[in-house]
Amino acid sequence: MTSDVVNDRTTVPGATGSRRASEVMAALGIVQLGDPILTTATRPFALPDERDELRRILDRLTAIADAVQRVHDFSTGAMGLAAPQIGEPRSVAIFRAAGAPQLALINPRVVEVGPAGRPEWEERTEGCLSFFDFRCVLRRPRSAVISYRTPAGEPAIVRFDHGRLAGDVLHEVDHLGGVLCADHLEPGAPAVSLA
């Protein structure tokens, strides 16, 4: 995959000098492509027994996501951050859709996606904080239903009916299974585009 990548020096708002976007993300505590934690499935939480460990990781995810949002504007869509991206091999991610409160997805599982047929999915570009210098061109479902646990350990279900948000939340759930957006590239499709 990296052989198809063209790294460009870019300036990220809030960064000093001209650094690649991935360098800025690494400086903020985001694990970068090549680290095996990004391609390893995470371990679920046993709640309520691991509530303190969950709170510690959620606090780190929130603090790092806040730092990322200070240097990059996600106001027109969403941003998410999964525990492996901050070096934690646990099954939790946070998701921030523009104008909505932060959602903590603990032990999430994809219940349903739509439409059922992959040919009807939307083609889109997708970025990742763990390789923020480029974007993948891929197909994602237009809707997704995710079951998860709340921080209190209660079962919950959320539905995303807007294509962009559905794809973005699926990106985060994928991280917890050790799957990167580049793993979804179709043979013969453009591999990447510059961010």
Specify the residue for token string 């391609």.
Answer: 39
Share of the chain above pLDDT 70, in %: 87
Q: What is the mean pLDDT of the chain?
A: 86
**Which alpha helices (H) appear in 101-180, and where do they start and end?**
163-176
What are the chain's domains? 2-194 (3.90.45.10)
- Structure tokens, 43: 């371990």
User: How many Cα atoms sit within 13 Å of 160 on the Cβ side?
Assistant: 27
Q: Of 184, 175, 188, whose CA–CA distance to 37 is shortest? A: 175
**Cβ atoms 170, 110 nearer than 8 A:** yes
**Chain centroid to CA 18:** 25
Query: What tens digit of pLDDT does each residue of 18-66 get?
Result: 788 899 999 999 999 999 999 999 999 999 999 999 999 999 999 999 9
pTM, rounded to two decimals = 0.86
